Amino acid sequence: MNTIFIAGHAKLPTGMAAKNVYETLTITAEIDKHYGVIIDASCTLATEHGRDYVSRLLRGHSLRNGIENPLDQLKKGYLGKANSALIAALKDLFKQYESLT
């Protein structure tokens, strides 16, 4: 298989719908081993629309280029309560990726 699967985790803020199901927010990504490109991504947000938004935002991004661009897109584009948790989970995912390369 030419991909790896990595997860990043962060604590959810109180008062979120997803907090009733999960204690942490998780972003998972399938990443091409050679180019570092995110093939697919998902997260544990409560709504399908939110999960789809995060997936589309991350898909196609190469982690070899860092995560500044997707972080900036999350900061400016995702205005929900989970914004800081998404950012922290993405940073954790990137840290996991860097430890493998």
CATH number at residue 32: 3.90.1010.10
Secondary structure (3-state) at 23: coil
The residue type of 51 is R
- Residue 101 near residue 23, CB atoms below 8 Å: no
Query: What pLDDT sits at residue 81?
Result: 87
Query: What pLDDT sits at residue 16?
Result: 55
Range of the domain at 92: 3-100
Res. 21: pLDDT tops 60: no
Q: What is the mean pLDDT of residues 63-88?
A: 94
Res. 65: pLDDT tops 70: yes
Res. 20: pLDDT tops 60: no
Whether the full predicted model's pTM is greater than 0.85, yes or no, is yes
- Tally of structural domains, the chain: 1
The residue type of 3 is T
